[in-house]
Amino acid sequence: MATVRLVWRDGREATVTATDETLLEAAEHADFSLPFGCRTGACATCTGRLLDGDSTHVRQPRALKQRHRDDGYVLLCIARAKNDSAVEVGVDVHNDLLENPRKGH
């Protein structure tokens, strides 16, 4: 069991308890609505960013490139907390993954 602090960019925070479930499921069981799409790690709609602690994906996160995983991004629909953690959540986190050609990526 792990305690997971959910952090939104607008300053909201909430704490949920994650047992043997994904981070998305833990948030839903605590009545927090987070964005999601496929629930299989293929669409990245549920992308979060690990701020503290550690997590593991229960299957290959097909929607994340290795460089995103190296930067701490996780797919909440298939990620489980390995210990007490803090995760940035919300639509804005997913938007970080989108490349903007005007930014010169």
Q: Would you state the pLDDT for residue 104?
A: 56
pLDDT at 101 over 80: no
**Percentage above 90 pLDDT, the chain:** 89
Q: Considering the entire predicted model, what is its pTM?
A: 0.91
The CATH fold assigned to 2-99 is Ubiquitin-like (UB roll) (3.10.20)
**CA separation, residue 88 to residues 7, 75, 102 (Å):** 5, 11, 25
Q: Is 100 exposed, middle or buried (0-12, 13-18, 19+ CB in 10 A)?
A: exposed
User: How confident is the model over 26-45, as a mean pLDDT?
Assistant: 96
Q: Would you state the pLDDT for residue 78?
A: 98
Residue 69, φ and ψ in degrees, nearest 5: -65, -40
Secondary structure element (H or E) that encloses residue 47, with its range: strand 47-52
pLDDT at 103 over 90: no
Residues 3-34 have pLDDT tens digits of: 999 999 999 999 999 999 999 999 999 999 99
Between vectors from CA 50 to CA 43 and to CA 37, what angle results, nearest 5°?
A: 20
- Of 104 and 82, which is predicted with more confidence? 82
CA atoms within 13 A on the CB side of 80: 8
Domain boundaries, the chain: 2-99
Q: Would you state the pLDDT for residue 64?
A: 95
